[in-house]
Amino acid sequence: MEKTNLDTLAPEKNLNLKQVYLDTEIKNIIDILNEELVGLIPVKTRIQEISALLIIDKLRKNLGLTTGNPGLHMSFTGSPGTGKTTVATRMSDILFKLGHSKKGHLLTVTRDDLVGQYIGHTAPKTKEILKKAMGGILFIDEAYYLYKPDNERDYGAEAIEILLQVMENQRDSIVVIFAGYKDRMDQFYASNPGLSSRIANHVNFPDYTSDELLIIAKMMLEEQQYQFSTSAEKVFFEYIAKRRTQPLFANARSIRNALDRARMRQANRNFDSGGRILTKLDLVTITDEDIKQSSIFN
């Protein structure tokens, strides 16, 4: 077999990787991702690696070099509220900017959107969802619910088979991301080895630390033009430490819910202030009193 002379492909071209990076506007998307999400360094590193590979492939293609079809199907595992949907959204922007996605949209679905309740219902539902997702990313949340081995009459396996076919045969047209709790997703993949083998990027989203959750809380308040009083910030840190040990904790999602309740208590406190003239500071400040009324402290 004759070897390719690499020097003859495009010897006159100089590769300005930095300029290509700037031209694709990927840096802007990565910067937005870093601003939106606190921590998650392993996740951000993986997204950076995928972006780098796609940019290098773009350069290779411009030079006439062979470019393989990178496996872009992904698995996002982690607890609720750790930024999986946000990262998927930014990933869709990246793929669109680099030409790996024609439309650049993200379609989020669950089992109910894919699986029917009777014979002959699942295939049309799944195919319709795939049709809508073509040219973008299909994000399947709590994907482990697709497979129910204890129920012989369940049609989730049919949806999985259709997904497998499309993931293999139309990988240039769609990217599929499966998401859910890590332990359940591990069981899901163990039960479906053909599915796991088609996913090149397994990304685990760690839980946030208490310090990171406090930063997130302050960012959320700032977005809504609120602030903690000095004492309230300390009390809310205590709240975070207590709440993290309780069931159904959902990281940033739980923090947002806690702040919504604190704002309601603050509004009620100001409303019941006995006709006192309120200042701007009264309207924007969350006090320790607004937080300590939480059942967490009882």
Give me the pLDDT at residue 207, please: 95
pLDDT of residue 253: 95
Q: 45-66 in b/e burial notation, b at 16+ Cβ within 10 A?
A: ebbeebbeebbebbeeeeeeee
Cβ atoms < 10 Å from Cβ of 87 = 24
Q: In this prediction, what percent of the chain has a pLDDT beyond 90?
A: 60
137: nearest Cα among 95, 165, 195, 84: 95
Of 70, 54, 84, 79, the closest CA to residue 177 belongs to: 84
| Residue 178 host element (H or E) | strand 175-180
Sign of CA dihedral 75, 78, 81, 82: negative
Q: Mind listing the pLDDT tens digit for each residue in 230-253?
A: 999 999 999 999 999 999 999 999
Q: Could you tell me where in the chain the CATH 3.40.50.300 domains are found?
A: 12-205
66-96 pLDDT, tens digit per residue, is: 766 778 999 999 999 999 999 999 999 999 9
**Average pLDDT over every residue of 258-281:** 90
Token reading at 28:
């802007």
pLDDT of residue 9: 46
Give 5's pLDDT tier (boundaries 50, 70, 90): low
Cα–Cα distances (Å) from 8 to 2, 20, 65, 67, in that order, read: 14, 22, 11, 17
CA 57 – CA 63 distance, rounded (Å): 10
| The pLDDT of residue 294 | 93
Between 67 and 170, where is the model more confident? 170
pLDDT at position 2, please? 46
Residue pair 73/167 in contact by the 8 Å Cβ criterion:
yes
**How far apart are alpha carbons 16 and 177 in whole angstroms?**
32
State the number of CA atoms in the 13 A half-sphere of 55 facing the CB.
Answer: 20
Paired strand residues for 109: 140
Residue 75: count of CB within 10 angstroms of its CB: 23
What is the fold, at CATH topology level, of the domain defined by 210-297? Helicase, Ruva Protein; domain 3 (1.10.8)
| 132 burial type by CB count under 10 A (0-12 exposed, 13-18 middle, 19+ buried) | middle
pLDDT of 14 strictly over 70 = no
Tell me how far the alpha carbon of residue 260 is from its chain's centroid.
22
Amino acid at 231: S
CATH 1.10.8.60 spans which residues of the chain?
210-297
pLDDT attached to residue 147:
86
Tokens in use for 92? 């869709």
12-205: which CATH architecture? 3-Layer(aba) Sandwich (3.40)
What are the structure tokens assigned to 145, written together? 């619910």
